[in-house]
A and B are shown apart, each in its own frame.
Chain A
Amino acid sequence: MLANAWVIPLLPLAAFVLLLAGGRRWKEGVAAWVGSIAVLAACVWSLGVLAVVPGGTGRKMEIPWLSLGDTVITMGMEVNRLNALMLLIVSLVSFLVHVYSRGYMRGDERFSVFYAYLALFTFSMLGLVISPNLLQFYIFWELVGVCSFLLIGYWYYKPEAKAAAKKAFILTRIGDVGLFIAVILAFWHTGTLEISGVIQAVQDGKVEAGIVTLIALLIFAGAVGKSGQFPLHTWLPDAMEGPTPVSALIHAATMVAAGVYLVARTFPLFEASPVAMDTVAYVGAFTALFAASIGLVQNDIKRVLAYSTVSQLGYMMLALGSAGYTAGVFHLMTHAFFKALLFLGAGAVIVALHHEQDIRRMGGLWNRHKGAGVLFLIGCLAISGIPPFSGFFSKEEVLLSAWQDGRWGVFAVGVLASFFTAFYMFRLFFLVFAGEYRGKGQPGPVSSGMMWPMGVLAALALLAGFAEFPGGWLSHWLTEETGIPAGHGSAPVWLPLLTVSIAAAGIALAWGMYVKQSVSPEQWRARAPWGYRVLLHKYYVDEGYAAVIALPYKGLSIFLRGFDRYVVEGLVRLATAAVQTAARVSTRLQNGQVQTYALISVIGLVLLMIGLAAGRLF
């Protein structure tokens, strides 16, 4: 089971090929079954792998891929405990999303294409997870990017989807190039592409400190692009143009977490460079607060969740940057469950409301869709950090690692972001489920096929925290024989109290504003209208990019087009014109008169003779 773990990604790949070949001929049910069964098999297999995986470097397998001089680049798999955990998370969430999509995508004319894309994504993500070397990692890294692109642009005829897909691809590509350079630098400075080999070389001090920092920062650049960290975060909220199951799978639970996973996977590299650690921590903290503050005022249900994702990813980065390896991974896991749950819940709401996404036109759904409401509430409680939901434990771990690493500023930012999170999540919850229905028409039903995956996720969101508490079982399991410090000991007593009370304060504020309506949001808005506008426009980052990068680039391109047309080609024309003039002059000599021809011959002869005799003259 363990030795053949490389089959796990191939299962969804087979499904992809089948679905592509089957095309539109297959009925919806067949396509959904093919995809779901393949992923279920992968999921079961992953569970088996998780049960038997040994600690330390785990199990490796590789085959030659490309011979280059004396070096042979290999492809293969490596399963250690981190990988195995990721395998399970990815395949599990993917399976649930597969099941859920059957209901969500009902009636779509490219149904089987959607499942094919989902299968391809699952394949790529699983391949990414078990990559033993950086190159393979990069390959799958790009593949998940392209799947994300395809799925964001799934409704290709919508101009917004088209723009969002393009933006997602290009912005992540910017980060990817950083990773690309990092892979090459790692190869030249350590002589290998194996992740374990690179780490070994760095730990043995074979690489200069400056180079290690550079490589770590470039890897982090890749992670920034993929995980939507500032300043490359803007694609992630736009990516909500894709179908909601996609947002749940790719843009909440798995792909965006790949950046975090990457940092975790190469964690010893970061540990070796204080600068890199600082960068990760500060970028993570800044993103956490930044995105959370934008999330406060957004009105699209999926966008609120998207900013919340960005913010939570910032949390994970923050944890990793503060040396909280297990805290980061733990939060990654819990977040995968509760954020997927939230997205699927949002999807259920959207389906029920006939594809309405604006929360100002929702409300009062608690009575009609109690099941969805409860599940969504579980997700909200988990993300806000209310015990005993999983988010509470992981968030506390994160803040604890920041505190113990001595990063007060980061800690304070984390606490503030946690307050924001609680507020906007419950703002969302109350606006959607409490009060009166503000939309048009009647809310429709939600199929049970969509409900029970949410149920599974809710259970996980509720229980996943107990993998770590009490006793730090997860940390020990993850770090056994890896040389990475397991945890930070026990937390001070005041920390859980602080986090819970902060979260409760956020929830209370949201309650006050949107249920009891004792605090008027309009008043707050009126007090700082410019602040509200800045938040609503997401700090004008998109506009800034357009003005600073996109426009000048377009200008440069148009300028160069003129340059190419008039200067480069002009030079060519000049040359041809010169030749043509010469030709025209010589055609005039061709007047058909023998004497002229003879004269020219004579002159030519004379010149020739002078040329020959000139050697003797001098």
Chain B
Amino acid sequence: MEMLPSWITWAPLLGVLVLLWIPRERTAAIRWVGVLATLPSLVLSLLLYVSFDTGKDGVQFAHSLHWFYLPVLGEKWDFQYSMGVDGLSMPLVAITGVIVTLAALASLYIRQRQKGYFLLFLLLEVGMMGVFLARNLFLFFLFFEITLVAAFFLIGIWGYVNREKTAIQFLLYNGLGSACMLLAFMGLLILFRSLELSRLHEVMHHSGALAQLSQSGGDTLLWGIFIALVIAFGIKLPIFPFHTWMLRVHAEAPPAVVMIHSGVLLKMGAYGLIRFGVELFPVQTQAAAGVLAWLGLVNILYGAVLAFSQRDLKRVLAYSSVSHMGIILLGIASLNVYGLQGAVFQSVSHGFISALLFYFIAALYERTGTTQIDQLGGLAKQMPVLSGIFLAGGMALLGLPGMSGFVSEFLAFLGLFETRPWVAATGTLGLILAAVYTLRAVMQTTFGPLHAGRERVKDSRWTEAVPMLVLLFFIVLIGVYPDVIGKPMQLTLQTIISRMGG
């Protein structure tokens, strides 16, 4: 039981092993094994969620093994393989399990080289789970890179027309981010001689140790590390003006990968910002909160305005992601438990919502062969169920109460209104703009007279409708009873904030 995080992380490898034995011609078997292989992680992560003690602060299910020593200048730097879960990672692990399984179902649309696809897909899951569960920075970095490489190939081989260019841009940007992260981690290693998160917490929250550090000129170094981390995760999130890679990925990657990308991979940015920014560098975060708030504001408005004039449905959603990630930034910048909770809520909720919407896009592309808004219209006539789901997803996207998006937006703004009311008030403009662009996208495709040449479009099969309804169920569940994910994270976030002295 204590080893649950490790089991979750490595469980997909079981599927990899099985897949390796299946000849590549037997596509049906490969597909179903690929989908089934995501189930162990899902079941285990739900088990983790159920057995997670919401009344306890700190890391649970922690376990660590000695990994290797690095002898440096007469000292031994210890590297541990440590995993564990706390309130911050718990919701994200659960959502990853769910989205990966559903994305695997959406991967049934993949028509070529399924074996390689599912191998990489499962590897990607290993990376993502590992990122959220690792309690050692070195381990974290390794998992982070696994996701990068796996996603690179998934985009580059199975994407649309410009896939190679997109994949390279993806790799370059994220490689840059990783380089910054590596530098930051090396800085931490040199300063504290350890990359264990628990150890780093001790030092960073020990005022005596910090004072000593700042006397010896470590302050500048700490700031450097902090900025490098913000850049690294800011690229991942992405923060304006680092967003262009993400647009391309949204537009060019296969929809199942975009479900994961937008649903989980982007959240690694948010997770990193909270985990390594707010939790590890309270002082610096406090000082930089103003900048973060402004960046968030720019993200919200910039994304919302641009989403309005895009012709491609996928790009609309991409810019809306930019806008929604701004809300995460606002939540982080508010520096109180409301805002932080809002940021995590937004991560989870946007994960579900964008997964749902990209599932819809996948189904839509399958039927019409296009995602250009002006070539669609009136689809509700031909596919009422799918259109209804799209409408519901759109409503969730624009933050309709009763769905998950509202809770996160409310919390983020609630938090920010305490500290920076004017920025927050300007940010609420984004709520109106969100309605504007979402309604435009939804209504131009499903409302109005049927677009010529779409008379033979069919409605959903059950293999499509069920996963979408499952996602919708989660969205509504969080919206109706947010404590399902609010409870686990609450104590952890409160501790983070109380350490900040705020």
Residues of A within 8 A of B (CB): 64-69, 110, 135, 138-143, 146, 153, 156-157, 159, 161-162, 165-166, 169-170, 173-174, 177, 180-181, 184-185, 187-188, 553-554, 556-558, 560-561, 564, 568-569, 571-572, 576
Our pick among B305, B443, B487 for the contact of A166 (Cβ within 8 Å) is: B443
Query: Do the beta carbons of B400 and A157 come within 8 Å of each other?
Result: no
Task: Enumerate B369-402 residues with CB–CB distance to A below 8 Å.
Answer: 378, 380-381, 384, 395, 400-402
Q: Does B124 contact A (CB under 8 A)?
A: no
Query: Do the beta carbons of B306 and A64 come within 8 Å of each other?
Result: no
B378: chain A residues at CB < 8 Å are 156-157
Query: Do the beta carbons of A156 and B400 come within 8 Å of each other?
Result: no
Our pick among A143, A173, A187, A569 for the contact of B402 (Cβ within 8 Å) is: A143
A180: chain B residues at CB < 8 Å are 410, 413, 428, 431
Query: Do the beta carbons of A157 and B431 come within 8 Å of each other?
Result: no
Our pick among A65, A173, A576 for the contact of B432 (Cβ within 8 Å) is: A173
B23: chain A residues at CB < 8 Å are none
Our pick among A69, A138, A560, A569 for the contact of B490 (Cβ within 8 Å) is: A69
Query: Do the beta carbons of B402 and A139 come within 8 Å of each other?
Result: yes
Query: Do the beta carbons of B443 and A572 come within 8 Å of each other?
Result: no
Q: Does B81 contact A (CB under 8 A)?
A: no
| New A-B contacts (10) at CB < 8 Å, excluding given A166-B439, A174-B432 | A67-B487, A139-B402, A142-B400, A157-B380, A166-B440, A180-B431, A181-B428, A184-B410, A557-B306, A568-B240
Digitize B17-43: 1 where CB-to-A-CB distance is under 8 Å, 0 elsewhere. Answer: 000000000000000000000000000
Query: Do the beta carbons of A65 and B483 come within 8 Å of each other?
Result: yes
B336: chain A residues at CB < 8 Å are 69
A69: chain B residues at CB < 8 Å are 336-338, 490, 494, 497
Smallest CB–CB gap between B400 and chain A, Å? 6
Task: Enumerate B454-502 residues with CB–CB distance to A below 8 Å.
Answer: 481-483, 486-487, 490, 494, 497
A169: chain B residues at CB < 8 Å are 435, 439
A564: chain B residues at CB < 8 Å are 244, 306
Q: Does B78 contact A (CB under 8 A)?
A: no
Q: Which of chain B's residues has its CB closest to A570's CB?
A: B244
Cα–Cα, bound, A68→B494 (Å): 9
Query: Do the beta carbons of A159 and B483 come within 8 Å of each other?
Result: no
Query: Do the beta carbons of A65 and B481 come within 8 Å of each other?
Result: yes
Given contacts A142-B400, A162-B448, contact A67 B490 (CB under 8 A): yes
Cα–Cα, bound, A593→B167 (Å): 33
Cα–Cα, bound, A158→B447 (Å): 8
Task: Enumerate B264-313 residues with CB–CB distance to A below 8 Å.
Answer: 302, 305-306, 308-310
Q: Does B450 contact A (CB under 8 A)?
A: yes
Smallest CB–CB gap between A250 and chain B, Å? 17
Our pick among B308, B406, B411 for the contact of A557 (Cβ within 8 Å) is: B308
Our pick among A159, A165, A185, A557 for the contact of B417 (Cβ within 8 Å) is: A185
Given contacts A68-B411, A165-B443, A187-B414, contact A143 B401 (CB under 8 A): yes
Query: Do the beta carbons of A184 and B417 come within 8 Å of each other?
Result: yes
Q: Does B241 contact A (CB under 8 A)?
A: yes
Given contacts A170-B432, A568-B244, A576-B172, contact A557 B305 (CB under 8 A): yes
Cα–Cα, bound, A173→B401 (Å): 12
Query: Do the beta carbons of A159 and B435 come within 8 Å of each other?
Result: no
A561: chain B residues at CB < 8 Å are 306, 309-310
Could you pull out 16 A-B pairs where Cβ atoms are within 8 angstroms? A67-B487, A68-B337, A135-B410, A141-B401, A142-B406, A143-B400, A156-B447, A159-B449, A170-B435, A173-B431, A185-B417, A554-B308, A557-B306, A564-B244, A564-B306, A568-B243
Given contacts A170-B436, A173-B432, contact A66 B486 (CB under 8 A): yes
Cα–Cα, bound, A403→B446 (Å): 52
**How many residues from B make CB contacts under 8 Å with A?**
56
A142: chain B residues at CB < 8 Å are 400-402, 406
Query: Do the beta carbons of A139 and B414 come within 8 Å of each other?
Result: no
Q: Which of chain B's residues has its CB closest to A135's CB?
A: B410
Cα–Cα, bound, A114→B400 (Å): 20
B338: chain A residues at CB < 8 Å are 68-69
Q: Which of chain B's residues has its CB closest to A562's CB?
A: B309
Q: Does B425 contact A (CB under 8 A)?
A: yes
Cα–Cα, bound, A554→B449 (Å): 24
Cα–Cα, bound, A166→B417 (Å): 29
Q: Which of chain B's residues has its CB closest to A166's CB?
A: B439
Q: Which of chain B's residues has its CB closest to A139's CB?
A: B401
Our pick among B305, B395, B446, B483 for the contact of A560 (Cβ within 8 Å) is: B305
Query: Do the beta carbons of A162 and B486 come within 8 Å of each other?
Result: no
Smallest CB–CB gap between A567 and chain B, Å? 9
Of all A-B residue pairs in the complex, the 6 with the closest CB atoms, nearest first, are A139-B401, A557-B309, A69-B337, A162-B447, A156-B447, A557-B308
Cα–Cα, bound, A560→B306 (Å): 6
Query: Do the beta carbons of B341 and A68 come within 8 Å of each other?
Result: yes
Smallest CB–CB gap between A26 and chain B, Å? 15
Smallest CB–CB gap between B168 and chain A, Å? 9
Q: Does B418 contact A (CB under 8 A)?
A: yes
Query: Do the beta carbons of B487 and A157 come within 8 Å of each other?
Result: no
Query: Do the beta carbons of B435 and A156 come within 8 Å of each other?
Result: no
Cα–Cα, bound, A561→B319 (Å): 11
Q: Which of chain A's residues has its CB closest to B387's CB?
A: A156
A139: chain B residues at CB < 8 Å are 401-402, 406
A65: chain B residues at CB < 8 Å are 481-483
Q: Which of chain A's residues has its CB closest to B240's CB?
A: A568
Query: Do the beta carbons of B435 and A67 come within 8 Å of each other?
Result: no
A553: chain B residues at CB < 8 Å are 305, 308, 436
Smallest CB–CB gap between B126 and chain A, Å? 31
A177: chain B residues at CB < 8 Å are 428-429, 431-432
A64: chain B residues at CB < 8 Å are 483
Q: Does B407 contact A (CB under 8 A)?
A: yes
Query: Do the beta carbons of B407 and A66 come within 8 Å of each other?
Result: yes
B172: chain A residues at CB < 8 Å are 576
Smallest CB–CB gap between B305 and chain A, Å? 5
Given contacts A162-B443, A169-B435, A554-B309, contact A188 B401 (CB under 8 A): no
